[in-house]
Structure 1
C-alpha cells in the first residue's frame, strides 16, 4: 500500500522518449558510446515507463550544451549565410515566404554532427555542404516537390554529418556538395 506522502512515479511522454533516442544517437555519432552500448541503452529507452528509468538509460552521457542552438528567422525575403561563418550544433531556419541559401562549404564546422531544422512555408531552399560531408535528409517533409540531392562518396573520411529535418510547404530544397 502506498502512503499519501510518497510521490507516484513520473511517467514519460513520447516526446521525452524521442528526445532520449536523439541523445543516444548523438552520443554514438560523437563516439561517446559503442555500438553495443547504444543498442542496450536504446532498448532501455524504448521500454522505459518512468523518468527515473529514462535517466538510468541516459546516465554517464555528456550533458547537452544548450548554447549550441541558433535560430535564423524571417517572415519574408531572403535568408543567406555564406563565407566563413560559425555553424552551431543545431541550426533552426524559419521563413514564411522567401528563399533560404545556406553555404557551408567554407563555414567553420566544429561539431561532428550538425542538425539543420527547416520550417519553410513558401519559397525555395539551397544548402551547399562541404565536399566530405555526409548528408541525411530523410527527416525532411516536403509538401509540394521532392528534395533534390545526389549522395556522393566522401572524398576523405571524417567529414561532418549534416542532418536536415523539418517541413517545407511550397518550394524545393536543393542540396549539393561543394566542388572544392
Structure 2
C-alpha cells in the first residue's frame, strides 16, 4: 500500500491539496480497510476527513499510522467461489471485487457486506446453484437489483 506523504517531494505540508491528492488518500484508506487495518467506522471517518482536507499535511495525518509499501494492490476484478456439499462465507472487512462467479451444489454461500469495503459502484454476481442457499447480508445504502437470465 502506498502511504500519502505529508507533502510531495520537498513541498511543505501547508501546501494546498488537490483533488488528485485527496483521491489518492481515499484509495489508500480503502485498501487499508480491505486489508483489515481500518474498521468500517474508521474508514468512513477518514474518507470524510480526506474529502474535506485543505492541505497536504491534513491528508498525511490520515495515513500516518499505515505501513508504506511499493504500491496499492488493486481490488480483484473477478472472484470465483466453487463448492460442493459444504458452505462458503465471505464476511468481515473483505474487499468486494467488481464481479463474482458462484457455483454451488448441495451447500450454502453467504456474502456478508456489512463490514465489506466496496470500491466499485456496482457488483455483478453470476450464480449457478443446485440444492443450496445464497444469503446476501447488506448494510443500509446497498441496493440489490436481480437481473433475470
TM-score range (shorter-chain normalised) is 0.3 to 0.5
Normalised to the residue count of structure 1, the TM-score between the two structures is: 0.39
Q: Which has the higher contact order (CA 8 A, sep 6+)?
A: 2
Normalised to the residue count of structure 2, the TM-score between the two structures is: 0.46
